[in-house]
Amino acid sequence: MITDIVVDVEPRSDLGKNASRRHRRAGTVPAVVYGAGEPPVPVLLDPRRVDEILKLEAGRNTIFSISVAGKSQAGAVMIKDIDRDPVTDRYRHVDLVRVRLDKAVHVKVPVRLLGLAEGVKNEGGVLEFVIREIEVECLPREIPEHLDVDVSGLHINEGVSVKDLRVKEGVKILGEPEGVVVVVAPPRAEETPAPAEGVEGAAAEPEVIKKGKEAVEGEEPPAKDKAPKEKGPKEK
């Protein structure tokens, strides 16, 4: 989606990890602008402007302009990649790619499901959403905001593959044609818990306990063999 949004950025001359940490602590996000046959330009972004763009329906596929230090515009750009902190989820780095409006681009477009599948509503099936983004090739002006998939007519064991998707003229789908986008799976059978090990031998347990009980009660078991009597001297 092409917009008239203009994002102000600051030029960045100090590079490296330590410099990037300082900029993040100061409230800006290190970024780089590249592509279209021009050299890359390191810049600093306001993270709030990145949030604004990502919240638009087109998200990363939003095409906007940047203004370096409020003096010049670098043409149309898109967010190509975002690196986030795995703990805080804050932006660590943003890649901006230059876009030529007369040249096709490769972008990923989200899939949007429409309706409630018949197999879920009346047959107890489970809807499995497998592929949530599809890569397409098209001119920047033709980038769809999303690809709609109507699932209302799907029964159990029925689904929609990449080859079944319909797009407008000028948009080419690059995904694997046989890839399954969504499918209605059969209801999951409830598993019966397996009997605990040793249950079969439980019947023999009382006998073992009984034998051990005699010793526990303090009754010494009878000796198996009586001690031999001492023989007195033979009578003469």
Residues 148-201 have pLDDT tens digits of 999 999 999 999 999 999 999 999 999 899 999 999 999 977 666 666 665 554
Same domain (yes/no): 85, 163: no
Q: Pick from 84, 102, 120: which residue ends a domain?
A: 102
Farthest CA pair distance, the chain:
140
* Mean pLDDT within 53-80: 85
Question: Do strands 105-114 and 147-150 pair parallel, antiparallel, or not at all (unpaired)?
Answer: parallel
Same domain (yes/no): 126, 97: no
Residue 201: predicted pLDDT: 47
Q: Pick from 81, 102, 123: which residue ends a domain?
A: 102
**Is residue 205 scored above 90 in pLDDT?**
no
DSSP 205: H
Question: Do strands 91-98 and 29-35 pair parallel, antiparallel, or not at all (unpaired)?
Answer: parallel
Round to whole Å and give the CA distance between 220 and 134.
81
Same domain (yes/no): 79, 123: no
- Of 203 and 17, more confident: 17
- Which residues constitute the domain of residue 34? 2-102
126-129, strands of its sheet edge to edge: 126-129, 180-185, 159-161
* Mean pLDDT within 24-44: 92
Same domain (yes/no): 133, 175: yes
Same domain (yes/no): 92, 110: no
Round to whole Å and give the CA distance between 141 and 169.
12
**Is residue 219 scored above 80 in pLDDT?**
no
Round to whole Å and give the CA distance between 168 and 158.
25
Q: Pick from 151, 168, 185: which residue ends a domain?
A: 185
Cβ 55 vs Cβ 67: under 8 Å: no
What is the total count of domains within the chain?
Answer: 2
The per-residue pLDDT for range 97-110, each reduced to its tens digit, is 999 999 999 999 99
pTM: 0.69
Round to whole Å and give the CA distance between 232 and 146.
112
CATH value at residue 161? 2.170.120.20
Look at the alpha carbons of 204, 210, 211, 212 in this order and tell me if their dihedral is positive or negative. positive
